[in-house]
Amino acid sequence: MSSNGKDKVSFTLDGETVTVDAGETLLDACRCAGRPEVPTLCHDDRLDPYGGCRMCLVELDGAPRPVPACKTRAADGMVVRSQGEKVERVRRTMVEMLLSEHHDDVGVKPNELQRYATEFGVEAPPVRFERRDAWEDRNRFIGYNPGACILCDRCVRYCDEVMQCNALEHVGQGSTALMQPTDGKSFLDTSCELCGGCVSTCPTGALYEKQAGGLAEADCDKTRTVCTFCGVGCVIDLNTSDGKVVKVTAETGVGPNDGHLCNKGRFAFEFIHHPERLKTPLVRGEDGKLHETDWETALDRVAAGLRKVADEHGPETVGFLASSRCTNEDVYALQKLARGVLGTNNVHSCAAT
């Protein structure tokens, strides 16, 4: 509800009257009203509005100069123009300005800046600033190429607002400003949890997945699936090349995770192609060694073993521990088995701790 107690506000957007929820930004309103895309670079729906890139400037009657749509809340009676020669020219210049500091030769991620450059027909900027020094980091997962950074602050704000880790910082000012892991240390020596959220939000590929080995996202096939590391059920996209997973991404606005992932979900996929990965159940033979078998045989063996112990020593001598990788439904079924079939309350899931 707005301060005047109303929960809707009406204003004029590109000549039409629009009604939106109080508190909506002009950017949200433009999207709801189906206006042509208002370009943004420093904006991520998962973060608080920042208003730094100045790509989303729109004209607002009565304001001394254009206002950022991402940061301005709609209010009754506003008269807003989201398109027009002036703001479009300014947006184009912003792209040109950002290209002057952007050195993208890694090209591993869909580059939002390059996309706008192509869309607006911006060619070489009239000046090219020196590339920032390379950043070596001994962590295995998050790569950082300061040359491609456009200081949109998305990574820094993600790390602060979503993760509350503050493992990234915006240091310096003017021409020497840059993003870096806090205090200029390796990610491993900061409070970084290696969730890779900064990578997911970076619009230019300055932050990228090292495991992808420089492979561009466009060259990968995507398979949507559910992460198996825990019961949350995060929706993930396995990015594969030549039938091998090279990175994991998640789409904002999809699933319970809304584009967020933990370090396991995003980076711990190397086991998939590991030569020692178990692909079938193993049971111990009379020779005392483990042999591959099928699930039916293995489960029969487990059932027989459990029944034998319970029959000989009583149900209280049997217990069940569920993995945190099990879903809620799996864990429910397991406790049914324990209580209903075996008759014991010795049941626990490590996700409970």
Partner 1 sequence: MTVMDLERLKGLRGCGGAGFPADFKWKAVRDEPAGAEGKVVVCNADEGEPGTFKDGWLLAERPREVIAGMLRAAAFTGADRGYLYLRPEYTRQKAAFLAEVERMVGEGLLSLGSGAVWYGAGFPGRPVVESDHGLDDIALAQLEWHVAHGSHDLEGEPTANGGLATDGKLSLLRPLPPRARPAIEPAPANGIAFRLDVCIGGGAYICGEETALLESMEGRRPQPRHKPPFPTQAGLWGLPTLMNNVETFWWAERLLSEGGADGADDVGGVPGARRLYSLSGDVQTPGVYECEVGITARELIERHGGGVKGGAEVACWIPGGAATGVLPGTLLDTPLSPDGLKAVGTALGTAAVVIYAAPREPREVAAHIMRFFAQESCSQCTPCRLGCRAFADWMDGSCTAPPADRASDWLEAMELGSICGLGFTAPLVVRQMDRWFEGAMA
Nearer residue to partner 1 within complex by CB, 117 or 236: 117
**Quick check: 54 and 72 in contact, CB under 8 A?**
no
Work out whether 185 is an interface residue with partner 1 (CB under 8 A): no
Stretch that binds partner 1, among 64-72, 141-149, 213-221, 244-252 (CB under 8 A): 64-72
Choosing from 35, 46, 54, 260, the residue that interacts with partner 1 (CB under 8 A) is: 54
Work out whether 22 is an interface residue with partner 1 (CB under 8 A): no
Nearer residue to partner 1 within complex by CB, 177 or 299: 177
Sign of CA dihedral 102, 108, 112, 118: positive
Please state the closest distance from residue 73 (CB atom) to partner 1, in A. Answer: 10
Work out whether 197 is an interface residue with partner 1 (CB under 8 A): no
Choosing from 7, 65, 276, 289, the residue that interacts with partner 1 (CB under 8 A) is: 65
Cα separation values, 91 from 14, 26, 73, 98, 182, Å = 17, 16, 20, 11, 31
Work out whether 274 is an interface residue with partner 1 (CB under 8 A): no
Stretch that binds partner 1, among 28-36, 47-55, 281-289, 326-334 (CB under 8 A): 47-55
Work out whether 327 is an interface residue with partner 1 (CB under 8 A): no
Q: Count the residues of the shown chain that bind partner 1, applying the rule CB under 8 A.
A: 37
Choosing from 71, 81, 325, 348, the residue that interacts with partner 1 (CB under 8 A) is: 71
Q: Which of residues 158-177 bind partner 1 (CB under 8 A)?
A: 169-177
Stretch that binds partner 1, among 1-9, 61-69, 312-320, 344-352 (CB under 8 A): 61-69
d(CA 94, CA 38): 13
Please state the closest distance from residue 175 (CB atom) to partner 1, in A. Answer: 5
Work out whether 217 is an interface residue with partner 1 (CB under 8 A): no
d(CA 229, CA 263): 10
Tokens in use for 344?
A: 């014991």
Stretch that binds partner 1, among 17-25, 49-57, 276-284, 337-345 (CB under 8 A): 49-57
Choosing from 94, 148, 227, 322, the residue that interacts with partner 1 (CB under 8 A) is: 94
Q: Degrees (nearest 5) of the Cα angle 33, 35, 36?
A: 160
Choosing from 12, 21, 28, 51, the residue that interacts with partner 1 (CB under 8 A) is: 51
Choosing from 6, 37, 48, 86, the residue that interacts with partner 1 (CB under 8 A) is: 86
Residue with tokens 């912003």: 94
Work out whether 203 is an interface residue with partner 1 (CB under 8 A): no
Work out whether 346 is an interface residue with partner 1 (CB under 8 A): no
**Quick check: 198 and 213 in contact, CB under 8 A?**
no
**Quick check: 222 and 239 in contact, CB under 8 A?**
yes
Nearer residue to partner 1 within complex by CB, 17 or 176: 176
Please state the closest distance from residue 145 (CB atom) to partner 1, in A. Answer: 18
Per residue in 190-214, is it b (16+ CB within 10 Å) or e — as a string?
bebebbbbbbbbbbbbbbbbbbbee
d(CA 161, CA 168): 12
Work out whether 84 is an interface residue with partner 1 (CB under 8 A): no
Q: Which of residues 120-149 bind partner 1 (CB under 8 A)?
A: 126-127, 129
Residues at the site binding partner 1, with contacts judged by CB under 8 A: 51-55, 57, 65-66, 68, 71-72, 86, 89-90, 92-94, 96-98, 100-101, 126-127, 129, 150-151, 153, 169-177
